[in-house]
Amino acid sequence: MRAARVVSEAAAAEMRVRELERRVEAEHARLRALQAAAPKATKEAKPAKPAKGGGGGAKKKDDEVTALPTSHRRFYDIAVNFTDPMFRGEYRGKQAHADDRERVLERAALVGVKRWLITGGNYEESKEAMDFCRRYAGNKYGIVMQSTVGCHPTRCDEFEDGRTTLAGLEELIREGVKDGTVAAVGECGLDYDREEFCHRDVQKKWFTAQLALAAKHRLPLFLHNRNTGGDFERFMFAHKETLTPGCVHSFTGTVEEVKTLLALPSSIYIGINGCSLKSEASAGVLRALPFERMMLETDAPWCDIRPTHAGHAHIATRFPTVKSEKHYAAGKTVKNRQEPCHMTQVFEVVCGFKGVVDEAARDAAAEVLYENAARVYRLAGK
């Protein structure tokens, strides 16, 4: 009887996955049709130059906005560092204001950011991220949180001294899969920008181990790649036979890197946030990256979109903001502290760079982006 029940549950899960794939494909087709019908000049539109000081024209500055915006679209933020002390009001080791995570949830819900992937950078952070997901399960805002479990490449020395262990991560995965808390293995990968924290040979050793962990538990990946000179791509292809789907988050690479990663046999997506949108070159990368292989993220509290960034001129949605954490006011965002609610701004800049201005086309794009993330980072064990 138990075997029959397991088979039945597996069949039901497979049907749900196929239905989700059908819906995503329908949205892809709808988006392609809308973009094909749009005027050619609109599709090739180049990003406008940001006005001096940002915003420009009659747009209000963030510190002049008084009302919280809303959105009818839905978003999945695949990178929220909700364990960061900033969300407890602590900046650079000093307490500036009270914990305001409840307000952060409220703002996110108002603009449709209803799914979050909370990142884990080592054993302790992964455990804390899982605890957050459980604590906020069934919250009044309707936000569904899941976490990653893994070790960031710059912290892989923790494997060497025992602060993080593969057995410890695997135990968290087993627990998280049972209750649907864990959705991915990561943040794992390679980072040659900060080898002073961990040498690349140590990073490679433990990246291999975490790829095997994802394959063993059939979990998707949450990936990191920074200034590796092609090593990351070569590493991924070397493990292509056992590679699970996933996303290379906070992408700041080239068009060539995009093409290489999209050629992998496993479904690898590219994660775009404010750090991906700083320069004019970003527009070229985004034009080479179809919505069908993209995910959006804030990487909160990092990677805010600043007035000096090339994409800032495309931002239409503004939030009540204080200039500094020292002047914190309940209900307002803090300048330069990114939050999940800023997914709307990331989306607006991406659409601006890609020349998608028609509202119906933007609606379709938003839905494709949401379904991409929902399909890859589906409820574990469901």
pLDDT tens digits for 275-330? 999 998 888 999 999 999 999 999 999 999 999 999 999 999 999 999 999 999 98
Among 43-52, 156-165, 323-332, where is mean pLDDT lowest? Answer: 43-52
pLDDT band at 111 (very low <50, low <70, confident <90, very high): very high
In this structure, the strands spanning 94-95 and 90-91 are: antiparallel
pLDDT band at 254 (very low <50, low <70, confident <90, very high): very high
| Predicted pLDDT of residue 53 | 37
188-240 per-position pLDDT tens digit: 999 999 999 999 999 999 999 999 999 999 999 999 999 999 999 999 999 99
Cα separations in angstroms, 270 against 24, 166, 256, 257, 366: 17, 26, 13, 10, 15
Longest dimension (CA), the chain: 70
What average pLDDT does this structure show over 71-92?
Answer: 97
Residue in the block written with tokens 């949605």: 317
What average pLDDT does this structure show over 368-381?
Answer: 87
pLDDT band at 274 (very low <50, low <70, confident <90, very high): very high
In this predicted structure, the answer to whether residue 270 has a pLDDT above a threshold of 80 is: yes
pLDDT band at 22 (very low <50, low <70, confident <90, very high): low
* 33 or 336, greater pLDDT: 336
138-147 per-position pLDDT tens digit: 999 999 999 9
- Cα distance between the two ends of the chain: 20
Q: Are 119 and 168 in contact (CB under 8 A)?
A: no
What average pLDDT does this structure show over 257-276?
Answer: 95
In this predicted structure, the answer to whether residue 10 has a pLDDT above a threshold of 70 is: no
| Predicted pLDDT of residue 265 | 85
What average pLDDT does this structure show over 354-368?
Answer: 97
Q: What is the pTM of this model?
A: 0.85
| Predicted pLDDT of residue 40 | 43
In this predicted structure, the answer to whether residue 65 has a pLDDT above a threshold of 60 is: yes
